[in-house]
């Protein structure tokens, strides 16, 4: 972790500050949620994807409007954990992931109980299926 933060410290880019905050957040989450030691963590993957594009309009000549696209990005950082045996060999294992964007739809699907499944058709009929225990 120290190497990644040191490299960011000396980079002269505008994105350094948010990336450092994201790495520090991922490290503190790994410590709190997975009881991982900071010295055992390493950056396994950094992925930057296209985010939501906000569309704004600006007045142009002859009563027209020109579109202004305000682009955003999604940053995902995956941390790995060195185990004690593998640290001696130099092998890196484990995976802890920190995403900046939360998707409420996937959480709702995962939280749905597997015991019951309800389907409503257009005619108002209900089909219920209960899992066997």
Give dist(CA 38, CA 114) in Å, integer.
37
H or E, element range at 25: helix 16-34
- CATH code of the domain in which 48 resides: 3.90.470.10
Q: List, for residues 9-36, the tens digit of each pLDDT value.
A: 999 999 999 999 999 999 999 999 988 8
107 against 93, higher pLDDT: 93
Contact 65, 49 (CB under 8 A): no
Its domain, for residue 47, covers: 2-102
Q: In this predicted model, what pLDDT tens digit does every residue of 70-91 receive, in sequence order? A: 999 999 999 998 877 555 555 5
pLDDT of residue 100: 55
Burial class (CB in 10 A: 0-12, 13-18, 19+), 29: middle
Number of domains in the chain: 1
């Amino acid at each position: 972790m120290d190497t990644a933060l040191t490299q960011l410290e000396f980079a002269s880019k505008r994105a350094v500050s948010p990336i450092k905050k994201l790495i520090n957040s991922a490290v503190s989450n790994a410590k709190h949620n997975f009881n991982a030691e900071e010295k055992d963590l390493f950056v396994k993957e950094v992925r930057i994807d296209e985010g939501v594009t906000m569309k704004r309009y600006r007045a142009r000549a002859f009563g027209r409007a020109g579109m202004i696209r305000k682009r955003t990005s999604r940053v995902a950082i995956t941390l790995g954990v060195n185990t004690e045996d593998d640290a001696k060999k130099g092998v890196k294992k484990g995976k802890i992931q920190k995403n900046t964007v939360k998707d409420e739809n996937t959480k709702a699907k995962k939280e749905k109980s597997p015991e019951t499944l309800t389907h409503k058709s257009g005619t108002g009929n209900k089909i219920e299926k209960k899992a066997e225990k």
